[in-house]
Amino acid sequence: MESIQRRSETALAALLPEANIAPNRLHDAMRYAVLGGGKRVRPLLVHAAGQLAGADPERLDRIACAVELIHAYSLVHDDLPCMDDDVLRRGKPTVHVEYDEATALLVGDALQALAFQTLAETPLSDEPAVQLAMITLLARASGSRGMAGGQAIDLDAVGKQLSREELEFMHIHKTGALIRASVLLGAQCGTPLPPDDLARLDHYGKLVGLLFQVVDDILDAQADTATLGKTAGKDADHNKPTYVTLLGMADARALAESLLANARSAIAPFGEQAARLDELASFIVHRRF
């Protein structure tokens, strides 16, 4: 995992425009937003699924970068005062605090454009039609019927009581869509897989995407319990529903364990070939931040 994290960092650093190229401040802020932090979960998933499909690691680097650029853009915009209004991200001042709001907005816009440029300008598959399908997949996962749509539902949910189905729908889009896309993009970059195998990976991606958010809710609640003596976390301060506020801590943990078991079962037929995907599902559950 560490070696993939390192190579993703190197690939991102090489892809992002240098800060001494005009417009310098924007490029500096883009590098600040992307480099030197983050667990790189999505690149890890791209490489693990790609390895299973026998994909070229250098092609996987490009896909991993594209997905991570979309992720970084979403964090920059999510932190803006008009959204979650956060001042810290990855232990550093958020982009709008370190630079300014207009720059943060442009950083997100430019990172998103760079993601699609990255997918479009180098060969990722020997079949142009597959490459086009990959670009479409990332666009769908990022757009109004994916991550951006999930964010809209999230903003709309402030102060409301959501049912478990509504909460799941929101998170499958907001956080889950990009995680699921990471798995599928990695898989599509390799030797074409039979439809049943792709469906298994898609199911795994969907479960792991939801799992990621359930664990995020648990970690947020734990962090605030530890620091503030409260039972609900940051999102509760923002009056947003979470798995912990909806189910309670014990049931949220039980849900995480059951999603983990189901994700593992989905890829069990691949045997040893899916060892990395299996480890990543555990990593997502047992991570500390």
By CB under 6 A, name the binding residues for ligand GRG: 37-39, 41, 74-75, 77-78, 90, 147-148, 151, 174-175, 213, 216
Quote the tokens at residue 124. 């990722």
CB of 274 to ligand GRG, least distance (A): 21
Nearer to ligand GRG, 27 or 89 (CB): 89
Nearer to ligand GRG, 190 or 204 (CB): 204
CB of 188 to ligand GRG, least distance (A): 22
CB of 130 to ligand GRG, least distance (A): 27
Nearer to ligand GRG, 51 or 175 (CB): 175
Q: Are 78 and 90 in contact (CB under 8 A)?
A: no
Q: Which residue's beta carbon is nearest to the bound ligand GRG?
A: 38
Quote the tokens at residue 263. 């994700």
CB of 210 to ligand GRG, least distance (A): 11
Q: How far is it, in rounded angstroms, from Cα 254 to Cα 265?
A: 17
Quote the tokens at residue 157. 């949910």
Nearer to ligand GRG, 53 or 69 (CB): 69
Nearer to ligand GRG, 55 or 177 (CB): 177
| DSSP track, 97-144 | HHS-HHHHHHHHHHHHHHHHHHHHHS--SSSHHHHHHHHHHHHHHHST
Torsion sign, CA atoms 2, 72, 83, 155: negative
CB of 135 to ligand GRG, least distance (A): 18
CB of 192 to ligand GRG, least distance (A): 29
Nearer to ligand GRG, 45 or 193 (CB): 45
**Nearest CA among 9, 150, 121 for reference residue 69:** 9
Radius of gyration (C-alpha) of the chain in whole angstroms: 18
Distances (CA, A) of 113 to 29, 74, 79, 82, 158: 15, 13, 19, 22, 29
